[in-house]
Amino acid sequence: MLFCCFLIVLFFGVRDMELSFERCGPENTTAALVYALGYARQNGIKFVVVASTRGITGRDAVTIFKGSGIKVVIVTHGVGHKEAGVFQFEDPGLVEELRQAGADVYIGTTVFESLDSAIKHVGIQSQNRLIADTLRMFGQGVKVCAEIATSAADAGFIPVGENVLCVAGTGKGADTVVLLRAENSKRFLDMEIIKILAKPKETKKEFKARCDYKGQ
């Protein structure tokens, strides 16, 4: 599968076409990442930011972008995101492996999390939640792309005001690719989403019903 995707990009290029997946999910990861690589090469993009909850998609990204000269930034949840005191990478040693391979790895709170998530549990909704839910109208992956771009910018891993690619997904893996100009969290609403390059046709509601998905 990976070899076939590489051949398509090598011989035909992406020609600024948009990629549409029938369904959400990790089965789209390789195609999404290879598509992102081809687009970045053809359009002079220097940075790609990839969401990776368990480290698997991050490892795939590092493998696919190896030798491309494009900087890979992996963004993952902070410790305790799902369970108190627990880091979600399947192998904690994978963080160092990714860094040794040349990727920057962000581990920490994202712009829509922290105190907003805490007060949500006592029935109080925040402005952050409203913005996140609005972005979800374009797809879960689009919301995550905006979120991880901000984390990477706040950490100093990517420049603000420059075109970057962001890769994210629905549940597990990757199924969404977005071209945007990131901003720091204090100027989040100045971010420019230039183009949604790849996303699934399936809605998150349909995905939840099909996979009995209960969130992360």
Would you list the DSSP string of 168-207?
E-SSSS--EEEEEE---GGGGGG-EEEEEEEEESS-HHHH
Residue 164, H or E segment:
strand 163-168
Residue 163, H or E segment:
strand 163-168
Q: Please indicate, yes or no, whether the overall pTM of this predicted structure exceeds 0.95.
A: no
Using pLDDT thresholds of 50, 70 and 90, give the confidence band for residue 117. low
Report residue 88 as tokens. Answer: 């979600």
Backbone φ, ψ for residue 122 (5° rounding): -110, 20
- Where are the domains positioned within the chain? 17-211
Q: At the top level of CATH, which class does the domain 17-211 belong to?
A: alpha beta
Backbone φ, ψ for residue 77 (5° rounding): -65, 155
Question: Cβ contacts of residue 70 below 8 Å, gap of 6+?
Answer: 37, 40, 41, 45, 46, 47, 48
Say which range, 15-19, 146-150, 188-192, has the weakest mean pLDDT: 15-19
Return the SS3 of 6.
helix
Summarised one tens digit per residue, pLDDT across range 79-113 is 656 667 666 677 778 899 999 999 999 998 888 87
Q: How far is Cα 191 from Cα 168, in angstroms, rounded to an integer?
A: 17
pLDDT of residue 82: 67
pLDDT of residue 197: 96
CB-CB contact of 98 with 59 (8 Å): yes
Q: How far is Cα 192 from Cα 199, in angstroms, rounded to an integer?
A: 18
Q: Across residues 37-47, what is the average pLDDT?
A: 96
Summarised one tens digit per residue, pLDDT across range 118-156 is 666 656 567 788 888 889 899 899 999 999 999 999 999
Report residue 196 as tokens. Answer: 């949604």
Measuring CA to CA, how many Å separate 53 from each of 57, 81, 82, 174?
8, 10, 10, 11
